[in-house]
Amino acid sequence: METISSFLEKFRKIQSPLRKKELVAEAIKKAASIEIKPEEIFFQSRNIVIKTNPYLKSEIMMKKSLIIEEIKKISQYSNIQDIR
């Protein structure tokens, strides 16, 4: 018979939306050497939407594949398909 703590363990693994945004910002900083705020990152289904100035956004788009690889390395949020 399972205990309540073993049942609740699966809920501890769920990351808060703010933590996901922080991990994405960290991955962008590692892969592209660009610092963006977590408030500029949004999630839409399997896509990450970044709302920042056009210069930074174009730099991020040029290194999109490296950023996605880095996100998959450091995060459980590995079902990302695209950055927009």
Q: What's the total number of domains in the chain?
A: 1
* Residue 6 covered by a domain: no
* Residue 10 covered by a domain: no
**Residues 6 or more apart whose Cβ sits within 8 Å of residue 39:** 21
* Residue 25 covered by a domain: yes
Whole domain around residue 37: which residue ranges? 15-83
In the predicted structure, residue 13 carries a pLDDT above the cut 70: no
Q: Structure pTM?
A: 0.76
Q: What is the residue whose two structure tokens read 């174009």?
A: 58
Check if the beta carbon of residue 59 is closer than 8 Å to that of residue 32.
yes
Helix (H) or strand (E) holding 83: strand 82-83
3-state secondary structure of 16: coil
* Residue 9 covered by a domain: no
* Residue 66 covered by a domain: yes
- Tens digits of residue pLDDT in 48-69: 999 999 999 999 999 999 999 9
* Residue 4 covered by a domain: no
- Give every strand in the sheet of 82-83, ordered side by side: 41-44, 47-50, 82-83
